[in-house]
Amino acid sequence: MRILPAVFLALTLASGAMAQTSATGGPLNLGGAAAADSLRTNLWLVEAMMGEIAGEAVLALPPAPARVLLVGRPVPGDRAGELMRLVTTRVLKDRGYEVLVDHPDSLKGSVPDCTAQLSVHQVELTYPDVGRTLGLWRRWVDRDVSVVVSAEIAEAASGRLLLSERLTRRFSDRVTNDEFPQVNSRLYPFTTAEVGESGWQRRIEEFAVLGTLAGLVAVYFANTGD
């Protein structure tokens, strides 16, 4: 049974050639927001990026405890807009602002100092590539998440614009096959996606690895046939 060392060596070389497990990070600053050993789910990443966008936008506001009126209520079915509004409200309250909602009965005589509208243009999740051993067993999945929001902040009394920008956050990393069921969630339309497979180049690599394995086995038998 001396064939086993040769096959094991071939499998080791193949898996090393077909996948790299080092993660790559985008411009999103996630430091301190989660424990170093915690698993960042798709929902966690989207909320973190929305929180960064909201945090950047509120820098245009006067100091707390100013009263901020959130305008532009999400249309029914706009799950991304609803989540963005919740995250923005949380960021404002955490920074000491008084949050008012855009509803006649909710103001109760309160006069806002500023208005803020954060409209979501895009929340996109993709799994652009996967790594497989011998083209059969999935080892890792590349993940790419992006959020694009238009932020507009104005003085309530004068209407003077304090901020009008499109803000973007993007994050890319790699999750193992064991982690994938935990990060992929159907809670929102943008927290799940189809796993992409690369094209002919990946298939050529798979055939090359299988051919190398078959060649090593043939050479072994040829050398030990006597």
Q: What's the whole-number mean pLDDT along residues 8-23?
A: 35
Q: How confident is the model at residue 12 (pLDDT cuts 50, 70, 90)?
A: very low
Kindly report, residue by residue over 180-209, the tens digit of the pLDDT.
999 999 999 999 999 987 554 455 455 555
Output the average pLDDT for the chain: 81
Side chain identity at 181, as an amino acid letter? Answer: P
Pairing of strands 67-70, 114-126: parallel
Q: What's the whole-number mean pLDDT along residues 7-22?
A: 35
17 to each of 115, 133, 197, how far by Cα in Å?
54, 9, 17
Q: How confident is the model at residue 17 (pLDDT cuts 50, 70, 90)?
A: very low
Contacts of 167 (CB under 8 A, 6+ apart): 53, 56, 57, 148, 149, 150, 151
Q: What are the chain's domains?
A: 27-198 (3.40.50)
Q: How confident is the model at residue 110 (pLDDT cuts 50, 70, 90)?
A: confident
Q: What is the pLDDT of residue 181?
A: 95
**How many angstroms separate the CA atoms of 16 and 148, rounded?**
36
What interhelical angle do 3-18 and 200-224 show, nearest 10?
A: 160
Q: Collapsing DSSP states into helix, strand and coil, what is residue 39?
A: coil
Q: How confident is the model at residue 135 (pLDDT cuts 50, 70, 90)?
A: confident
H helices present in 153-194, as ranges? 180-183
Peptide bond into 65 cis (omega under 30): yes
